[in-house]
Amino acid sequence: MKDIGLSVILLLASSVAALKPSIEVRGVSIEDLQKYQPDENGKWACLGNPEVVLSFSQINDDICDCPDGSDEPGTAACPGTFFYCRNEGHIPGKLPSSRVNDGICDYDICCDGSDEAGLSDSGLTPKCENRCAKMHKEYIAKKEAKQALLKAASENRQKLIKKAQVLRENLKKEIATKEKKVEDLKLQLSQKEAELEIVEAQEAERIAANTVPKPKVIDDAQESLEFLLDEYKKFEAEIASLSGQLSQLSSVLEQMKGDYNPNFNDPAVKHAIRSFEEFKGNNPETSQAHIVNAEKLGAVSNIIESLKSYTPPAPQQSNQHSFKPSFDLPLFRFSDLVKKVRNLLVEFSIIPDNGESSSMVQPESVPTDTNVSTELTKQRNIVSNTKTSLSETERQLQEARKSLETEHGPDDILRALKDTCVSSNLGEYIYEICFYGKASQKSTKDNSSVNLGNFENVSIDDKSEDGALILYFEKGAKCWSGPIRRATVSLTCGKETALLQVTEPERCEYFIFGTSPAACAQYNPQAVDSASKDEL
């Protein structure tokens, strides 16, 4: 019974000891407060250097006794240490010890004013009031507003993702449809080309059956004219060569004439110079009239080509009358062609002019058979239209595939903003960016616009908290006596897509800052809710 009573007494004693409050030490968190309690002898060991034992009264005595500075958590005595602000009712903070008891209330970190309590206790400065309750209320209001904004931005982002998914699926369907259409058009074109070959063969047979043979005299005239043209070109080249030699000889004689000294009695030289002067008198200038100009040679070539492609007219047919083909008309046309050839030969002085020739006339177009059947024209149009449709469909298919493969940011979200433009009046200019388009700067004074760059690519800023999107616009308009303009657009998480600020750190290099729900990839509503509750 005696032992039981003693046990009860010891249990009560230990319970009372457990209920005994810890000694308060300024500048220490509640979790670390147990580390700052004296032993049964009123002693205390430095936390980082337990071999150094101090009297408990030496803690926060404004003298740095521990090598690690752990004995002065509430003063500025030990450099490089931190003061812990408990900020009850708000968020705890850490303040560099150098700012403790400096006469300044650092409410941004220590809203409870505990960083200046040492001076206040000594009566050296007015006491820093505790503003934690007020500041926490403001903090919660801002936190809730930000949370609401982020939730709205997240909802808008989900809408953009769904829109991008629909657009992507539609693009895949379009590609499949275009691929099927391309195959169908290729097959259709192959069939139509085969049909066209049949119609063309039938048309060739019809034309051949209704074509009058070319008179032999035309072939003979063509061959003779080609021979004369080749001979004349050789003759012209020989004359040109002799003319060059003559010019060179004249130059030599002219130099000899200039260098000749009449005081020297040289009969041979005198005779040569006298003969040269007589030659020059009889031939004052070397004529270039023998060189046939390009226009005349071209006319001859045209005549030859006309003879090559000359086709006598097909016999005329009628539902009411039929008649034998007459050579009166082709013979008349051929005689007219012969006259033109004769005129050219006279112009070239190849044959004499006996008065029958007239002035040079340009050859008329050679008569051709324009009686192409309606069926052939129809088939040619069908093939041409099918080729055009195939080419356009292949172009559209290529663009669709390229769009599907293009990088559109996380979750393909920027696909939903493609071809969307956003602008903002930021001072003297209105700045505008078009996703996958261009960035521009428009003056508010004269409405003049400048291209700041064309969309190049997009990346994610890994350093940002919410996964900011970086859009690059390159190869804009050239600055006056400067570089080519370029713009970098940084979009952070926001409810709406908007431009907020523009800077130009380097000439003609622009940095545009804005917000967009597309840049909220890292936002987690549950994480924000949890963080807010923990901080409360």
Structure confidence at residue 12 (pLDDT): 40
The pair of structure tokens assigned to 239 is 């004359």
Structure confidence at residue 167 (pLDDT): 93
Q: How many helices (H) and strands (E) does the chain have?
A: 9, 12
d(CA 273, CA 257): 6
Query: Is the pLDDT reported for residue 8 higher than 60?
Result: no
Range(s) of the chain covered by CATH 2.70.130.10? 410-535
Structure confidence at residue 123 (pLDDT): 66
Query: Is the pLDDT reported for residue 23 higher than 70?
Result: yes
pLDDT (mean) for 38-63: 93
- Per-chain mean pLDDT for the chain: 79
Query: Is the pLDDT reported for residue 7 higher than 80?
Result: no
Structure confidence at residue 395 (pLDDT): 95
d(CA 38, CA 9): 25
CA distance to 156, 226, 363, per residue, from 304 (Å):
77, 7, 10
Structure confidence at residue 339 (pLDDT): 67
Q: Cβ atoms within 10 A of the Cβ of 481, count?
A: 5
What one-character-per-residue DSSP string does 437-471 give?
Answer: SEEEEEETTT--EEEEEEEEEEEE-TTSSS--EEE
d(CA 332, CA 493): 89
Query: Is the pLDDT reported for residue 456 higher than 60?
Result: yes
Residue 331: pLDDT band with limits 50, 70, 90: very low
d(CA 487, CA 439): 7
Amino acid at 445: K
Query: Is the pLDDT reported for residue 256 higher than 80?
Result: no
Core vs surface per residue 402-416: b (16+ CB within 10 A) or e: ebeeeebbbbbbbbb
Amino acid at 88: E
Structure confidence at residue 338 (pLDDT): 62
The pLDDT tens digits for 133-183 are: 999 999 999 999 888 888 888 899 999 999 999 999 999 999 999 999 999
Structure confidence at residue 301 (pLDDT): 72
Structure confidence at residue 531 (pLDDT): 44
d(CA 448, CA 442): 6
Query: Is the pLDDT reported for residue 290 higher than 90?
Result: no
Which is higher by pLDDT, 371 or 392?
392
d(CA 214, CA 307): 10
The pLDDT tens digits for 227-253 are: 777 777 787 787 778 777 777 777 777
Strands 438-443 and 449-460: antiparallel
CA distance to 74, 84, 114, 117, per residue, from 103 (Å):
14, 17, 12, 10
> 53: which strand partners?
45
The pair of structure tokens assigned to 215 is 């008179």
Best-predicted range by mean pLDDT (112-121, 277-286, 349-358): 112-121
In CATH terms, the superfamily for domain 410-535 is: Mannose-6-phosphate receptor binding domain (2.70.130.10)
Residue 14: pLDDT band with limits 50, 70, 90: very low
Structure confidence at residue 257 (pLDDT): 67
What one-character-per-residue DSSP string does 196-254 give?
Answer: HHHHHHHHHHHHHHT-PPPPHHHHHHHHHHHHHHHHHHHHHHHHHHHHHHHHHHHHHHH
d(CA 301, CA 530): 93
What SS3 state is found at 396? helix
At residue 514, what are phi and psi to the nearest 5 degrees?
-160, -170
Are 20 and 34 in contact by the 8 Å Cβ rule? The answer is no
Amino acid at 55: S
Q: Cβ atoms within 10 A of the Cβ of 192, count?
A: 19
Residues present in the chain in total: 536
Structure confidence at residue 229 (pLDDT): 75
d(CA 489, CA 474): 11
d(CA 47, CA 68): 8
Q: In what order do the strands lie in the sheet with 421-426?
A: 421-426, 429-434, 438-443, 449-460, 469-474, 486-493, 509-516, 498-506
Residue 350: pLDDT band with limits 50, 70, 90: low
Is the entire prediction scored with pTM above 0.85? no
Query: Is the pLDDT reported for residue 326 higher than 80?
Result: no
pLDDT (mean) for 318-326: 40
The pLDDT tens digits for 183-203 are: 999 999 999 999 999 999 988
Residue 332: pLDDT band with limits 50, 70, 90: very low
d(CA 180, CA 197): 26
Q: Any idea which residue has 């080729």 for tokens?
A: 387
Please classify residue 157 by burial: count the beta carbons closer than 10 Å to its beta carbon, then call 0-12 exposed, 13-18 middle and 19+ buried.
buried
Query: Is the pLDDT reported for residue 348 higher than 50?
Result: yes
Structure confidence at residue 373 (pLDDT): 80
The pLDDT tens digits for 483-506 are: 999 999 999 988 999 999 999 988
> 501: which strand partners?
513
The pLDDT tens digits for 504-519 are: 988 999 999 999 999 8
The pLDDT tens digits for 72-106 are: 999 999 998 999 999 999 999 999 999 998 888 89
Are 115 and 106 in contact by the 8 Å Cβ rule? The answer is yes
CA distance to 303, 304, 344, per residue, from 295 (Å):
12, 14, 11
Percentage of the chain exceeding pLDDT 90 = 40
d(CA 30, CA 22): 10
Structure confidence at residue 122 (pLDDT): 67
Query: Is the pLDDT reported for residue 220 higher than 80?
Result: no
Are 62 and 69 in contact by the 8 Å Cβ rule? The answer is no
